[in-house]
Amino acid sequence: MLVQTAQGEVVGGASANGARTWLGIPYASPPDGPLRWHPTKPPSPRSETLNALQHASWCPQITNGLDSLKGIEKGVLRGEEDCLYLDIYAPSDASGSFALPVMVWIHGGSNVWGRAEQYDGSKLAEAGNVIVVVVQYRLGPLGWFAHPALEDGVANFALLDLVQALRWTRNNIAAFGGDPDAVTLFGESAGANNVLALLAMPQADGLYRAAIAQSGLPASFPLEIARDGRTSQIVGAIPAAQAFTDSISPDASALRDASLEAIFGAYRDGRTPGVIRDGTTLSDRPLAEAIAAHQAGRNLPLIIGSNRDEAKYLLAFDPAMTRKALFLFPVARDADHYNAVSSYMTGVWRAIGVSEFAQQLAEAGTGPVRTYRFDWDEGARVGLSDLGHLIGAAHSLEIPFVFGHFENFLGRLDKRLFTRRNAAGRMALSEGMMTCWTRFAADGPDALLAGGKCPAWSAIEAGGRQHTMVFDTPRDGGSRMQAESGNLDSLVSELATDPVLDKDNRRCALAGRLTRTFGLLRPGLAQELTAECPG
C-alpha cells in the first residue's frame, strides 16, 4: 500500500495474517556525526519512494544471553547510529479514510538493548482493529549521557527520540488509517520506565491520551550519579568519556569523534544509567513524584502492572540459584530458597512499581489508574526441568500474550514454554489481554467496565483497599479482580524472620541483592534490610 507522508511516499507490505505493514520508516535525522548526543532532529524530505519492507538496523548495543538463545554471539557490539526508525502495523482493511486508535510500543532491554524487529504487531493490529507503531531509540551511552561538555543540558537523548517519534506519529499516522488524537503509549520493563518518564515530560504533552506500563518502575537517576558515576554498578559520563577520549576534559567535538567501539568499551565493567533527572527534559525530583505533580488534574487513563514471578528471569540463569541435573536439565538448587528469593524480589518490585505508585497517583488525582498481575505459569516440563516452576510468570513473559505472537520470542526456549498442551489456555488468555489493551486504547477506561473477553476492570480508589486484575488461564481460575495483598513493610518484616533464609548468610545476601536493585528508588530500604548484616 502506497502512503504519502510529510517526508515522501512510503510503500509497505503485508504480514502472514494479512495485516498491512510498513517497516523501517525514518522518524528522525540520523543521530550520528555532529548530531550524536544532540536533541533529536526531524527527518529530511525524500524525493524517492521509500520501500518500507524490512526492519531497520539496530541501534548500537552489546548482544547478551537472550541473543544467544537465537544463535547470535553474546558480548558483541552490533548496530548502527542511523537507527531512529519505526514500524507500523495496520488491519488488513485499513486506509487513510479510517481513524483507528494508535498504540505506540516502546521496547524494553534495560535501556541498553533491544530493537523493533523483536515485536510483530500484526496480530494485535488485526485482532484489536488498531494501528500499532513500534519504535527504536538510542540505547546505552548514546541515549543516556550526562556530560557537562554537551550543549543544552540534555542527558535523556533517548526520551527526546521518543518525543520525536510521537511527533512524527501525530503528523503522519492519519495517512495509515490512525487517529492522531487517540494515541496510547505502551511498553515493558525499561520501555515501561520510559513510558512513565514521558508522562513527566512537558515536551510530550498533547502527543498521547493514555498509557500502559508493563513491569516498569518509576526509576530515575540523580544527575550527579549519571555524571560522576558514584555507585559500584553505574559508570558516569565523565569517567567514561575520559576513558574513551583519553582526555581529562574532552570537549563536545572530541566526544562526538570517538569510535563506537571505544565508547561502548568504556562500559564493559558497568552500565550507563537510564532515565536521568537532568533538569532540562525531566525535573530534578524522583520520577514518581514528577509524574504525580505533572499529571495532577489531567485525567490520564493509566494501566500499570507486573508479573507474579518477575525475578525468576534472573534466578533461572543464575548458577548460584540453579544447577544442571544430569549435566543437562536446569533445576533449582534449593526449591524453598529459590521461591523465597523470587517472592521477596518480586514483592518489592510490585510494591514500589505498582501498588504504592498507583496509590500515589490516585491520591494526586492524575486520573483513573488500573493495576494488574500476570500469573501464567504453564510452561512444560523438559526432562527434569519444570519450567512452570523455574520460570513461572517471569519478567517479560506477558509480552507474547499482549502481541498474540508466541514465535521467535525466546529463541530455542519458545517450543519448551509454548506447547500444544498449553495452547488452548494461553490463546484464550492472550485473546483476553489483547481485548483489554485494545479496548482501553480505543474507548478509554470506561470500556473496561463492560466485561466479556476482558473482565470488568475497576480503577483503584485513593485511600481505599486496592483491587487488581489477575490475568490467568481458565485452568487456574481465569482472569478476575482480586484484592491486592502485601506491602513493603510487611515484606521487610517477613524477610527478617523467614526460616528459609536462616542458613548460609542467605538473608544478608538477599538484602544486598534487593538494595542493589531497588536502593535508588527507596533509599531507606537499604538500612532496613541490612541493619543486622556484617559490613
Q: Which residue out of 188, 310, 378, 398 is catalytically annotated?
A: 310
Please give the Cα distance from 244 to 259 (Å, whole number). 8
Helix axes 506-518, 335-350, angle to 10 degrees: 30
467 counts as catalytic? no
Please give the Cα distance from 202 to 168 (Å, whole number). 17
122 counts as catalytic? no
Cell numbers given for 262: 571505544
CA angle 444, 446, 447 (to 5 degrees): 75
342 counts as catalytic? no
Cell numbers given for 228: 560522576
Burial degree of 498 (CB within 10 A; 0-12, 13-18, 19+): middle
Please give the Cα distance from 466 to 350 (Å, whole number). 13
Please give the Cα distance from 218 to 220 (Å, whole number). 7
155 Cβ neighbours under 8 A, 6+ residues apart: 144, 145, 146, 223, 226, 227, 237, 276, 278, 280, 281
Q: Beta strands 302-307 and 369-374: pairing type?
A: parallel
Q: Which residue out of 107, 117, 147, 189 is catalytically annotated?
A: 189
Please give the Cα distance from 201 to 291 (Å, whole number). 8
Say if CB 196 and CB 300 are below 8 A apart: no
Q: Which residue out of 38, 107, 389, 395 is catalytically annotated?
A: 395
Please give the Cα distance from 90 to 103 (Å, whole number). 11
Residues tagged active-site = 189, 310, 395
